[in-house]
Amino acid sequence: ADAVSSMVYEANARIRDPVYGCAGAICQLQKQVSDLQAELAKARAEIVNMQCQQANLLALICMEVTQSQDQVMAPPSNEDTYETTTGNSFLNFYDDSNNLNSLWEPLWT
């Protein structure tokens, strides 16, 4: 029964493709599978890349938060130093937040 089914299938395939028959259909399906596997590998690589970018971004944000908390928690030696330090830390935070914008750019391109 299987042999008859195979012969009928091959005959129908020869009608569609007189030169290659089933072999042509099999080659076409193998090429399609290969193309889809390559596309899947590319998508997986993009996912890993995005996960690495996210991890790096989170690490940078955590470092920034830790540094800003350390600056806020540092005891001032006198009032003049406190005012200067506080003003500078806000300026540094502003500069650092501008630098973070450049980190976001690769995520959107």
pLDDT digits (tens, 9 = 90+) for 28-68: 999 999 999 999 999 999 999 999 999 999 999 999 888 88
Tokens for 104, please give them: 């976001």
Residue 21: phi and psi, rounded to 5, are 60, -130
Q: Average pLDDT, stretch 90-109?
A: 50
* Higher pLDDT among residues 91 and 39, named by residue: 39
Q: Name the residue range of residue 14's domain.
A: 2-108
Total count of domains within the chain: 1
Cα–Cα distance, 76 to 26 (Å, whole number):
77
Q: What is the model's pLDDT at position 109?
A: 46
**Full-model pTM:** 0.50
Q: Distance between alpha carbon 49 and the CA centroid of its chain, in Å? A: 4
Q: Which residues, 6 or more positions from 107, have their beta carbon under 8 angstroms from its beta carbon?
A: 50, 53, 57
